[in-house]
Amino acid sequence: MSGKKVTKRTLLGMKQKQEPIAMITAYDYPSARLAEEAGADILLVGDSLGMVVLGYDSTIPVTLDDMLHHTKAVTRGAKKAMVIADLPFATAHLPEGEVLKSAARLMQEGLAYGVKMEGGIEIVDKVNHLTVAGIPVMGHLGLTPQSVNQLGGYVIQGKDLPAARRLLDAAQRLEEAGAFAIVLECVPEELAELVTKKVGIPVIGIGAGRHCDGQVLVYHDLLAMAGDFRPSFVKVYQDAGEVIRKGIAAYVQEVKERSFPAENHVTHLKEELIHELYGSSEGETDQ
């Protein structure tokens, strides 16, 4: 990533030059800084934070206030990378004015570059409403985790012909409505490749194979910090969970055996002060 801020024009240029786009979720100041230092182009404040940071078993309970809190922290840590914040559960289906208010708060208070919205042709009018108002919108098709209950689980989407055609159509309609990019989650590689070819905007895949314009993974997944939950499309690049666990275990052990803090971690009083202080308490006895 160069020194310039990443914008939708940057991403479009990358698609045209076939330069892969690297996106990763970030939920706070340190994860944003580390991801940016590592060269990520886009930081997604995903509502996956509900699962990997807040401990819910889906993204459904995540609120706009949760999203704002985390988006503010991420934007403080990101200087160049584009920061996109998720609109939480069901927001895209509220009346237009409500959707606009929520998206505007993520930009005005959270300082996000734009928002991501889950959904297909049923939300195209809302996408258009936001983009006309100056809000960059990233679409999200395929497996849309906010609809996990309705979908019947975290299952691959677009596997039969009607579903694949619907998804392709939705991608084209989102582009027409003004979306600047689309996340495509858990669809067969061939369908993702076709969508990527058929739309002019960048397509960022997650569990969507090798031919998208970019890839996104959840921070805690690629660093093995999400417990036992490990979808098959995730690659673990470092076991940070193990590093952290070992570090904390060593600390706990040293505290228990009184080897921490050591001489180099403490400060001392001047000799004469020690005498005065200890002297002044001479004769005082505990009852």
Is the Cβ–Cβ distance between 6 and 181 less than 8 Å? no
Provide the 3-class DSSP secondary structure of residue 138: strand
User: Which residues from 128-147 bind ligand KIV, rule CB under 6 A?
Assistant: 140
- Of the ranges 2-10, 40-48, 96-104, 266-274, which one interacts with ligand KIV (CB under 6 A)? 40-48
Instruction: Mark out the alpha helices in 38-63 (DSSP H runs).
Output: 49-52
Give the whole-angstrom CA distance, residue 179 versus residue 95.
19
> Which residue among the candidates 185, 193, 276, 284 is catalytic per the annotation?
185
Instruction: Mark out the alpha helices in 133-235 (DSSP H runs).
Output: 148-151, 161-177, 189-198, 219-222
Closest approach of ligand KIV to the CB of residue 206, in Å: 5
Closest approach of ligand KIV to the CB of residue 42, in Å: 10
Give the whole-angstrom CA distance, residue 141 versus residue 267.
58
Nearer to ligand KIV (CB atom), residue 183 or residue 201: 183
Closest approach of ligand KIV to the CB of residue 9, in Å: 22
Residue from the set 86, 175, 193, 213 that interacts with ligand KIV by CB under 6 A: 86
Query: Is-catalytic flag, 185?
Result: yes
Residue from the set 206, 208, 225, 226 that interacts with ligand KIV by CB under 6 A: 206
Size of the site for ligand KIV (CB under 6 A): 12
With a CB cutoff of 8 Å and minimum separation 6, the contacts of 126 are 92, 93, 96, 99, 117
91 contacts ligand KIV (rule: CB under 6 A) = no
184 contacts ligand KIV (rule: CB under 6 A) = no
Q: Which among 177, 200, 172, 7 is positioned nearest to 96, based on CA atoms?
A: 177
Burial of 177 (0-12, 13-18, 19+ CB in 10 A): buried
Residue from the set 36, 41, 47, 66 that interacts with ligand KIV by CB under 6 A: 47
User: Which residues from 211-240 bind ligand KIV, rule CB under 6 A?
Assistant: 216, 218
Active site residues: 185
Please report, as ranges, the residues that interact with ligand KIV according to CB under 6 A.
25, 44, 46-48, 86, 140, 183, 185, 206, 216, 218
